[in-house]
């Protein structure tokens, strides 16, 4: 080892010793001072309670006495009248009654010539064997002027005539009417029809009129016969129904 190295080691050892000495002294100073300062500060910062005395009570002066009024109080006024609204009454509704069209009454049948119980057209039954009352025919319905006889041996029979769909179109005039017409008419000894009357209406005058008009114009009969085989007059009671499906 040379001289320079020995000097360098001596310097290092001296520096380390000085540093250690300073460290010991610094530690002692810090430790001692810190204890005293903390103790003094803690003694100075002790907390204590301060009690504030309550405020003194303030006596409020009593309220002044109320003076009684010597004057007498007036009486209350009567209640005011309340206006009542006039009730509004709705007028009664107007009710319109539908008046049905007048039904055509059947004409009073005239006296017809006949021989059986349905041949007469009187309102009441007669004293004879027929129900036709007193008439001028040759039957036995009452006091007739004819020769009498035993009544009709064979009733009149229709041989031609009838109703068509075109008849319905004309009678209803495209109104799609319907109804049943009851009629009475006479059949002469020659087989022709006449004296047609409506005994019960269909409710439609056009249908009633068309029924009798067509019967009188188109219907033809084989005349009725008495017991001697002679052609005699007869009366027919029948009905006909009009319908759109005709």
What is the DSSP secondary structure assignment for residue 90, as one 8-state letter? P
pLDDT of residue 133: 37
Q: Which of the two residues, 37 and 127, has the higher pLDDT score?
A: 37
Q: Which own/partner pairs from 84-92 qualify as long-range (CB within 8 Å, at least 24 positions apart)? A: none
228-243 pLDDT, tens digit per residue, is: 999 999 999 999 998 8
pLDDT of residue 75: 66
Judge whether residue 211 has pLDDT over 80.
yes
Judge whether residue 62 has pLDDT over 70.
yes
- The CATH fold assigned to 103-246 is TolA/TonB C-terminal domain (3.30.2420)
Mean pLDDT for all residues in the chain? 71
Which of these ranges, 41-45, 96-100, 117-121, 229-233, has the smallest mean pLDDT?
A: 117-121
Share of the chain above pLDDT 90, in %: 25
Judge whether residue 44 has pLDDT over 50.
yes
Q: What does the pLDDT average to over 26-45? A: 62
Q: How far is Cα 7 from Cα 98, in angstroms, rounded to an integer?
A: 153
Judge whether residue 85 has pLDDT over 70.
no
Judge whether residue 60 has pLDDT over 50.
yes
What is the CB neighbour count within 10 angstroms for residue 1? 6
Q: What does the pLDDT average to over 136-148? A: 39
Sign of the C-alpha dihedral computed for residues 200, 203, 209 and 214 taken in this order: negative
What pTM did the predictor assign? 0.39
Q: Which residues pair with 200 in a beta bridge?
A: 182
Nearest to 184 by CA among 175, 193, 192: 193
Q: Which of the two residues, 208 and 101, has the higher pLDDT score?
A: 208
Which of these ranges, 20-24, 210-214, 226-230, has the smallest mean pLDDT?
A: 20-24
Query: Residue 83's pLDDT band (boundaries 50, 70, 90)?
Result: low
Domain spans, the chain = 1-34, 103-246
Q: What does the pLDDT average to over 97-111? A: 50
Question: Which two structure tokens, joined as six digits, stand for 84?
Answer: 């009542």
**CA distances to 16, 160, 190, 193 from 216, in Å:** 168, 12, 13, 5
Task: Give the strand pairing for 157-160 and 220-222.
Answer: antiparallel
Q: How far is Cα 109 from Cα 23, in angstroms, rounded to an integer?
A: 165
Query: Is residue 185 within 8 Å of 215, Cβ to Cβ?
Result: yes
Question: Which two structure tokens, joined as six digits, stand for 47?
Answer: 């907390």
Nearest to 246 by CA among 192, 181, 155, 168: 168
Query: What b/e readout covers 19-55, taking b as 16+ CB neighbours within 10 angstroms?
Result: eeeeeeeeeeeeeeeeeeeeeeeeeeeeeeeeeeeee
Question: Which two structure tokens, joined as six digits, stand for 64?
Answer: 């002044």
Q: What 3-state class would DSSP assign to 218?
A: helix
Which of these ranges, 36-40, 150-154, 217-221, has the smallest mean pLDDT?
A: 36-40
Q: How many CA atoms lie within 13 Å of 178's alpha carbon, on the beta-carbon side?
A: 5
Query: Is residue 157 within 8 Å of 146, Cβ to Cβ?
Result: no
Judge whether residue 190 has pLDDT over 70.
yes
What is the DSSP secondary structure assignment for residue 245, as one 8-state letter? T
Pick from 51-65, 67-81, 108-122, 164-178 the range whose average pLDDT is largest: 164-178
């Amino acid at each position: 080892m040379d001289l320079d190295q020995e000097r360098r080691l001596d310097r290092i050892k001296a520096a380390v010793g000085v540093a250690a000495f300073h460290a010991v002294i610094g530690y002692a100073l810090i430790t001692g001072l810190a204890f005293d300062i903390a103790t003094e500060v803690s003694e100075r910062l002790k907390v204590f309670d301060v009690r504030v005395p309550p405020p003194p009570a303030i006596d409020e002066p009593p309220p002044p006495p109320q003076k009684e009024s010597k004057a007498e109080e007036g009486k209350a006024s009567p209640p005011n009248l309340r206006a009542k609204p006039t009730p509004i009454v709705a007028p009664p509704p107007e009710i319109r009654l539908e008046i049905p069209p007048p039904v055509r009454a059947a004409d009073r049948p005239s006296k017809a010539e006949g021989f059986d119980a349905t041949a007469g057209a009187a309102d009441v039954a007669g004293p004879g064997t027929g129900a036709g009352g007193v008439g001028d025919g040759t039957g036995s319905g009452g006091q007739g002027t004819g020769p009498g006889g035993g009544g009709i041996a064979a009733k009149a029979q229709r041989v031609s005539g009838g109703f068509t769909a075109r008849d319905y179109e004309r009678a209803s005039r495209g109104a799609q009417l319907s109804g049943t017409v009851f009629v009475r008419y006479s059949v002469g000894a020659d087989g022709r029809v006449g004296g047609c009357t409506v005994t019960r209406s269909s409710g439609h005058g056009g249908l009633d009129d068309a029924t009798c008009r067509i019967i009188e114009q188109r219907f033809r009969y084989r005349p009725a016969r008495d017991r001697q085989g002679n052609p005699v007059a007869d009366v027919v009671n029948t009905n006909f129904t009009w319908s759109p499906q005709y």
